[in-house]
Chain A
Amino acid sequence: MANIQEKIAKLFPEAAFEEADTLTVTIPDAQWHELAKTLRDDAEMAFDYLVTIVGMDWKDSLGCIYYLDSTTHNTHIAVKVIATGDRETPYIHSVSDLYAIGCIYEREVYDFFGIIFIGNPDMRRLFLSIDWKGFPLRKDYDMNPDINPVPHENERQSDYTYTYVEDADGKIVKEEKRVFAEDDFVVNIGPQHPATHGVLRFRTAVDGETIKKIDVYMGYIHRGVEKICEMDTYPQTLHFMDRLDYFSAHPYHHCLCMCIEKAAGIEVPRRAQVIRVIMDELSRIASHCLFIGTFCMDLGATTMLFYTLRVREQILDIMDKTCGARMTFNYETIGGVIADLDPDFVKDVKALLEILPKNIKEYNKLFTGNVITRNRMEGVGVLSRKDAISWAITGPSGRASGWACDVRKTAPYAVYDEVEFDEIVRTEGDSMARFKVRMDEMEQSARIIAQLIDKIPDGEIQAKVPKVLRLPQGRWYQTVEGCRGAFGIYIESDGGTSPYRLKIAPPCLPLAAVVDHLTEGSKIADLITIGGSLDYIVPDMDR
């Protein structure tokens, strides 16, 4: 990292450095776009993956922290940019021309903080409706429900979007343009539609049956988790993780716990570490099972749901015995896990491992080789490796495009560095590949569990944690491999008992954002295949 710092310091004398959890560069807004270009294009740095943009309100100023990863060197960097202009109209230059996912991430920051990104082609609100008053994640936001009451009328809709550009004198000009072309035929799909896997809405411009453009509307399940977390103490924030991506409840919980443990310097007992990993992998199998079931159901093969839910129910039973719930477990705590394993746990898991290969074989026999399946999935929605990185498509969907992005391999946490497993990577990048990656990942998860299940060490399950937990001042970022991709948690603490800012970087937001890019030029029926194969969970992207 030292030579990267030197190099940046040489090129950008204004840059200030800060060695925190990640190397953080602070740069004035005027140089930011140039720095981003250098970071991305320089062969030695090659930060080509924009992990997340954390909007920040430091009370006296607004700004963003960009987390960037290099897929070639496996290095991380954070860039802090403070917005220029006053609190009414803060500006930052957009990087949406460098990173495809930047456009959606910047819209999210605009929605929550009101920071305007110069050059972003689509500066609309993302989660909240156009009539919403105020920017909710600002510290001075008025939460009074009378200002923004529950609407009873249908939402107002606009066909126009805005772009802010700098003219020759450096003045910022607002430009209005249409979302769709004037003579486009626009069909509405969702928010209440069984194939959108929740409440997601697509405005689809079609030419006959061919899709020309999709405008994704999110926010139909935006619950403002990040803002609630700022009002809660650290242990109180944990249970929201279960309710984001409810299939990845264990990995998400694990992530937030690890982030807080890292900040507070808590050492987790080994028994708890192993239990956490086993739970993560069990969730992964259960999640992929449901993916296969619902995906096949979207394509018309309803029976598969019954076959896959059989295994899922068995896993839920195992969890139920230990955690006491079927879905929202609230099992991992800061410093360990909440309760010890059920006496039957090992026996039950072994029974599961025994039947799992037979079941996977059965799924393959029933569905994978089917000629209709292959016709509908092969070559549909092809995503190249370069696009996958630019759109920040992680998880099984990214690995299907040939990008080895498994966090368990790139930045091993808990006991993942001690177990043997293969990272499933395919190169086709189509819907079939995304399906097959998940199928194979179930086997790998079973392999991890098999290695650990006989070797769960004895000992404590919970480290000593102070009753009132305060984190020191600073900021931390932690990633885990959720069931749908890399899930990140950013915590900034001011030394109090609750986070100053808790940012959730969900894997499903890019997955939904990429739908427009993937479906361009394909048929409406393929939209269902592509959406199903990406396997996004709407409460996860909306938070």
Chain B
Amino acid sequence: MPYDAWKDNEYIEKLVKELRDSGTNVIIGSLDHLINWGRSNSIWPLTFATSCCGIEFVSLGAARFDMARFGWEVARASPRQADFIMVAGTIVHRMAPVLRRLYDQLAEPKYVIACGGCAISGGPFRKSYHVAMGIEDIIPVDVFVPGCPPRPEAMIYGIMQLSRKIKVEKFFGGVNRQEKQEKFLESHPIEGIDDNK
């Protein structure tokens, strides 16, 4: 995809600038490039679908949209083997702690894509008594893919955005990501659990 065709270049440039500001070691920087090239081309999703969006995710895996072209086809049933969760569908009150637990079980570095209106804001069910108004209160989100459900093309675009983000990250030291997560955990504490331990 040509660079100009992306819709959020300013955001990525800002992210890159932030990273560069702290300075990069030549050797580690080159190693980062190498590792990130590998990582961004083999992000494995967790098989996680609660409703309609999940079916479009199945279509994404099938022959027509074929996410194997990008190296995402290895959908893992266990969060311990996956790189990112595609939260495809509504998250309700009863599911919220389960989602949080799945996220905690993912190995670092980990990413989250909020897929569809329900995962972003509650979508058509905003008035409901049993729906979480977006998953951002439960886990930190990297990419939002709007739609109800998003078309498979939109999902491909969303995951490609994620892989762009991964490409510019510093893998060694993993500073960016962990800092963000710690901040998130501090602002969303669970009673009785100390996240720093």
Q: List A residues at the B interface (Cβ < 8 Å).
A: 127-129, 136, 141, 143, 145, 148, 150-155, 191-194, 198-199, 219-225, 227-228, 231, 239-240, 243, 246-247, 290, 294, 305-306, 309-310, 312-313, 326-328, 538-539
Q: Is the CB of B148 within 8 A of A220?
A: no
Q: Is the CB of A240 within 8 A of B124?
A: yes
Q: List B residues at the A interface (Cβ < 8 Å).
A: 47-52, 54-56, 58-59, 62-64, 77, 79, 89-90, 92-98, 100-102, 124-125, 127-132, 137-138, 148-149, 151, 188, 190-192
- Give complex CA distance A198, B92 in Å: 13
What 3 A-B pairs have minimum CB-CB distances, sorted nearest first? Answer: A309-B62, A224-B128, A246-B52
Q: In the complex, what's the smallest C-beta–C-beta distance from A312 to chain B, in angstroms?
A: 8
Q: Is the CB of B63 within 8 A of A309?
A: yes
Q: In the complex, what's the smallest C-beta–C-beta distance from B179 to chain A, in angstroms?
A: 22
Q: In the complex, what's the smallest C-beta–C-beta distance from B115 to chain A, in angstroms?
A: 13
- Give complex CA distance A382, B129 in Å: 39
Q: Is the CB of B129 within 8 A of A191?
A: no
Q: Which residues of A contact B56 (CB under 8 A)?
A: 326-327
Q: Which residues of B contact A246 (CB under 8 A)?
A: 51-52, 55
Q: Is the CB of A194 within 8 A of B47?
A: yes
Q: Is the CB of B94 within 8 A of A220?
A: yes
B62, B90, B127: the one contacting A305 at CB < 8 Å is B62
- Give complex CA distance A94, B63 in Å: 51
Nearest-neighbor residue (CB-CB) of A330 within chain B: B148
Q: Is the CB of A220 within 8 A of B97?
A: no
Contact of A539 with B52 at beta-carbon distance under 8 Å, contacts A194-B77, A221-B90 already known: yes
- Give complex CA distance A221, B92 in Å: 6
- Give complex CA distance A193, B50 in Å: 11
Contact of A221 with B89 at beta-carbon distance under 8 Å, contacts A128-B130, A246-B52 already known: yes
Q: Is the CB of B94 within 8 A of A228?
A: no
Contact of A228 with B98 at beta-carbon distance under 8 Å, contacts A150-B93, A326-B151 already known: no
Q: Is the CB of B98 within 8 A of A152?
A: no
Nearest-neighbor residue (CB-CB) of A243 within chain B: B52
Q: In the complex, what's the smallest C-beta–C-beta distance from B173 to chain A, in angstroms?
A: 30
Enumerate 11 A-B pairs (CB-CB under 8 Å) in ascending A order.
A136-B130, A150-B93, A152-B100, A219-B94, A221-B95, A223-B92, A227-B128, A231-B127, A239-B124, A246-B52, A326-B151
Q: In the complex, what's the smallest C-beta–C-beta distance from A318 to chain B, in angstroms?
A: 14
Q: Is the CB of B55 within 8 A of A290?
A: yes
Q: Which residues of B contact A143 (CB under 8 A)?
A: 129
Q: Is the CB of A224 within 8 A of B131?
A: yes
Q: In the complex, what's the smallest C-beta–C-beta distance from A334 to chain B, in angstroms?
A: 18
Q: Which residues of A contact B125 (CB under 8 A)?
A: 223-225, 228
Q: Is the CB of A136 within 8 A of B92?
A: no
B47, B51, B59, B97: the one contacting A221 at CB < 8 Å is B51
- Give complex CA distance A411, B149 in Å: 33
Q: Is the CB of A243 within 8 A of B124?
A: yes
